[in-house]
Amino acid sequence: MLLAIDVGNTQSVIGVYDGADLKHMWRIATNKNHTADELRMKLVPLLESEGIDAACLSGAVLASVVPQLTGGWQSALRKLTGAEAVVCTAAAAGEDLFPTAYSNPAEIGADRVADAVAARALYGQPVVVVDFGTATNIEVIDRDGVFVGGVIAPGVETSASALFSHANRLSAIELEDPHTAIGDNTAHAIQAGIVYGEVDRVDGLVGRIFAQLGYEAPVVATGGLAPRVAPLSRTITQVNPELTLEGLRRIYEARA
């Protein structure tokens, strides 16, 4: 069995694969102060809750956009599996899985690499990925299968947190569809601004991407907030919450 871990700034996603089948997936809060031992002790109860013995793990693959946790996760996974984890980078994916025209491939985030690898494999080319996380990332694979770049913008919850922390009279509310563009109370007004604002920003950016490419493409949404935002979009055609983990699995299978 394979352990795949996507470490984000706000949440970390953990998956266990048996061959190509994702058997279990968990989302946990990211704590940038955790040590390798603490990370390992977070993993063990999750595995045990599903009756998985660490001895059954044949390897691990890791994507991390939190540099201060990368080494700790590598150490935790080494102790847990007895092997070095495959660490996701553009170089680790290689030109066969991740051809790119990016000016500096080394600076591409691991989550962006994994998303692009999975989207190209599952949905063909061209394809666009929108990953709703701490940042809202948009990845663009052209009709030749090349990752040509994308967009990085503040995420939904990041924007909301900034608003609530700087506006003393506004309090945090649930980020859900208000079903009205004209809020008749403060909560609905905030929801319209943040939720519809995110949807229209994504649709607008995707429209600009299509115009620059000269053709349209399937648009796949992933990330923790994708199920809330994607149904309101005019351009998103598919939601796949497992996309990043699937990309990690494919990179592991190609490189391990």
* pTM strictly above 0.75: yes
Structural Rg of the chain based on CA atoms:
19
Each residue's pLDDT tens digit, 59-80: 999 999 999 999 999 999 999 9
Our count of domains for the chain comes to: 2
Q: What pLDDT, on the 0 to 100 scale, is given for residue 176? A: 83
Q: At which of 62, 87, 112 does a domain end?
A: 87
CATH of the domain at 47: 3.30.420.40
Q: What is the DSSP letter of 32?
A: T
Same domain, 76 and 106: no
Q: At which of 59, 87, 115 does a domain end?
A: 87
Residues 6+ apart with CB under 8 A from 226: 130, 131, 132, 239, 241
**Would you call 111 a catalytic residue per the annotation?**
yes
Using the predicted structure, report yes or no on whether residue 168 has a pLDDT greater than 60.
no
Residue 232 near residue 203 (C-beta atoms within 8 A): no
Identify the active-site residue in 111, 115, 131, 142.
111
- Pairwise CA distance, residues 47 & 11, whole Å: 18
Helix axes 36-49, 67-81, angle to 10 degrees: 50
Burial of 107 (0-12, 13-18, 19+ CB in 10 A): exposed
Does the residue 254 lie in any domain? no
Q: What pLDDT, on the 0 to 100 scale, is given for residue 169? A: 53
Does the residue 204 lie in any domain? yes
Same domain, 29 and 75: yes
Q: At which of 87, 117, 152 does a domain end?
A: 87
Does the residue 142 lie in any domain? yes
Range of 32's domain? 2-87
Q: What is the mean pLDDT of the chain?
A: 92
Does the residue 249 lie in any domain? no
> Could you tell me the two tokens for 80?
């847990």
With CA atoms as reference, report the closest residue to 218 among 201, 197, 252, 243: 243
